[in-house]
Each structure stands twice: as C-alpha cells, then as structure tokens.
Amino acid sequence: MKILIIEDEPSLREIMTEYLRKQRYVVESADSLKDAMFKTADYEYDCILLDIMLPDGNGLELLRKLYRTGKSGNVIIISAKDTVDDKVEGLELGADDYLAKPFHLAELNARIRSVIRRKDHDGDSAVSFGNVRVDTSSYSVTVAGSPIELNRKEYDILAFFINRPNHLVDKMNLAEAVWGDHMDQVDNFDFLYAQMKNLRKKMNDAGADVEIKANYRLGYKLVAK
C-alpha cells in the first residue's frame, strides 16, 4: 500500500513518514502544491494525506483537480486551519476524511486503514481469490484455510494482486506500488523477479488454486489455475 504525504512542515512530514513506514506502508512525500500536482499526475497512491496550507497554494486546488478526474476518493485532508468551510468544501470535493492538527499518529493510521478498506474491500479487511485469503488487518495469508509465511515484499505483492484479480499489471506499476515511485529510474527488475519467483513457489507449494502468471513482455496477472 502506497501513501503520499503532502506536507510542507519538514518535522511533521518526517515523523509521519517514519511512523507510516513502520506500519508497513510505502511512503512518498511532497512539500509543495506543485510537487504534489506532479506526483499525483504521474503516480498512483492508495491514500493521499493532504495539508491545506502549502507554501505555493491551497491544498484544495489539488483536491479540485483530483475531483475532476474522479480520483479524490482516497484523500484525507490534514489541516491546522480547522475551519468548517474548508472541511465542508473538502468533503464536497470527494475527500474521504478530515483530520485536524495536531493529531495522534495512531488516529492517523486508523483513518488511513479505513480509507483503504473502503476503497479496496467495501469495508472488509480480508479479501479472497480462489482459496487464497489475505487479511490486511493482520497481514496474514491463508491458502485453503492454512496460514503461509510470506516475507514483507511477497505479502505486499500478493496484497496488490488480490485486489486486482484477472487484471494484467505491468511490472513498472507493480514495482512502484510495492517499492516506491523511484522505481521508474531503476536499470533492471531482478529484485522483483526474485521476490515474484519465491512468492509463486510458496503459493504453489501451499496448494493455491490461483497463480500469478507471468508474461515477460506485458506483465503479470493473478488468475485461477
């Protein structure tokens, strides 16, 4: 799960980044409206944390842009300016939630989880395909009811695919979702092939009736066997 933090105050941005990385998210950040506009145009995020007062403009401008493209549903507004007007406008523009500063990091995490659950699983924290079940609240995976042990990246890859069954995913999109935005600058994808190989083997050994099929030119797809 990848999160974009849009926040100009360095210390808050760092605290949030560090905390959310510990919660197993891939975290990217932007410190200005301009940077946030670029990032949201170029990359996909599971949740966007949006500060309102930015040095080069108002965060609601970004929200308006996302709203026009139907992409404002996973935004949590984070604002020190706890005014009713901003809150109402933000929610009308499709923002999913509004959190006033200062806030507890645990509260932030709870709100993020709720946004992601609504977006990906219609409110349920577990999602299944075939006999494979991924529970995003406990980061656990079962195959035919028996738990299997995955490392963190293997889990992240499987969680990404189980939300997109029968959907072809290009390896760049997969790499950006699991490793981060800088993946568009890597020379090769050996790290991805290695994790994918291990994950596929573990799923197969556990008796999964679904598999992540590779097509080296087009990408990967989670399909029934």
Count other Cβ atoms within 10 Å, centred on residue 77. Answer: 25
Q: Which residues contact 187 (CB under 8 A, 6 or more apart)?
A: none
Decide whether 80 or 106 has the Cβ nearer to Ca ion. 80
Dihedral in degrees, nearest 10, Cα atoms 165, 170, 174, 180: -150
As measured in angstroms, the least distance from the Cβ of 59 to Ca ion is 8
Residues that bind Ca ion (rule: CB under 5 A) add up to a total of: 3
d(CA 33, CA 19): 23
Residues in the chain: 225
Decide whether 14 or 149 has the Cβ nearer to Ca ion. 14
Decide whether 101 or 164 has the Cβ nearer to Ca ion. 101
d(CA 189, CA 150): 20
For Ca ion, which residue has the nearest CB?
A: 53
Q: How far apart are the first and last CA of the chain?
A: 26
As measured in angstroms, the least distance from the Cβ of 109 to Ca ion is 20
Could you give the angle at the alpha carbon of 181 between the alpha carbons of 75 and 168, nearest 5°?
85
Structure tokens at 54: 């930015």
* Phi and psi, residue 154, nearest 5°: -60, -45
As measured in angstroms, the least distance from the Cβ of 15 to Ca ion is 14
**H or E element: which one contains 160?**
helix 152-162
Decide whether 51 or 86 has the Cβ nearer to Ca ion. 51
Q: Does 100 bind Ca ion (CB under 5 A)?
A: no
Site string for Ca ion, 171-210 (x = CB under 5 A): ----------------------------------------
Site for Ca ion in 1-60 (CB under 5 A): 8, 51, 53
As measured in angstroms, the least distance from the Cβ of 28 to Ca ion is 17
Site string for Ca ion, 51-90 (x = CB under 5 A): x-x-------------------------------------
As measured in angstroms, the least distance from the Cβ of 8 to Ca ion is 5
HEC assignment per residue over 117-148: HHHHHCCCCEEEECCEEEECCCCEEEECCEEE
Decide whether 8 or 28 has the Cβ nearer to Ca ion. 8
Decide whether 31 or 154 has the Cβ nearer to Ca ion. 31
As measured in angstroms, the least distance from the Cβ of 127 to Ca ion is 35
Q: Which residues of the shown chain bind Ca ion in the complex (CB under 5 A)?
A: 8, 51, 53
